[in-house]
Amino acid sequence: MRLDNKVALVTGGAQGIGQGIAERFVEAGAAVAIFDINGEGAREVARGLGRALALEGDVADEEQVKAAVAQTVARLGSLDVLVNNAGIEISGTVAEMSSETWDRVLAVNLRGAFLCSKYAIPQMRGRGGAIVNISSVHAFHSYPHEPAYDASKSGMLGLTRTMALDHGKDGIRVNAICPGYIRTPLLERWFSELPNPEETMREVLKHHPLGRIGTPRDIADAALFLASEAASFVSGAYLVVDGAMTVSGH
């Protein structure tokens, strides 16, 4: 699984899963543009990777997305792989959640994937390419108090399937990854805010037949597979990476 001489754009690459994917892609021979609203974080990751470019911006802003894709091509030479990873999670029931919160979650998680794909596809058309959307097990296994997040991640699977149909003729493969619990700064922060983090972790691990939660590297390896020629006949699919959590009934 190599990406030699390929250029990838990874959104939300300043930390967590996005950072893990950027690092893994560089290991596999790619040049990577890291597009994140946290510009300093993106620059810090890029400095440690060598052939990497940091781009500051909001995936929900069309002009900023358009500029990020243009800068990626201008400075790195092409665009072969897009990873739509940027996402936010804000909890609350439908009755409690403000319309502004709903709009923001959908804007980042789903509109962002739409916009980045919209401007990346013309760069790939005729040469071929791969788009990897980072969805979630929330797409088909919902949890209380997560209406906006669950809706956005479910929508991402629909977007994945339709883009695979529409752009297969362009040589563009489109797939999704559905992570479960992954040890990221966001998850660590969530655990730290709970009344009893240790007990919660023990309960979470009971639902993981593999005996652990995931790491960004686990998702990065899956993304590398889907982005590489090893998955040359895989499109319109989603890959669950959750240590068998969902099939355990959690």
Provide the annotated active-site residues: 149
DSSP-derived 3-state class of residue 35:
strand
Q: How far apart are CA 99 and CA 125, in angstroms?
A: 37
Closest CA to 29 of 49, 46, 43, 14: 49
Q: Which pair of tokens denotes residue 131?
A: 């788009």
The residues pairing with 138 across neighbouring beta strands, listed in sequence order, are none
Say how far apart CA 244 and CA 250 lie, in whole Å: 9
Task: Please state the separation of Cα 124 from the chain's center in Å.
Answer: 19
CA–CA distances in Å: residue 174 to residues 36, 53, 157: 21, 23, 10
Nearest to 168 by CA among 123, 121, 120: 121
Q: How far is CA 214 from CA 43, 188, 190, 236, 241, in A?
A: 26, 12, 15, 24, 8
Comparing CA positions, the residue from 192, 60, 63, 69 lying closest to residue 129 is: 69
Using a 10 angstrom Cβ sphere, with 0-12 exposed, 13-18 middle and 19 or more buried, the burial of residue 209 is exposed
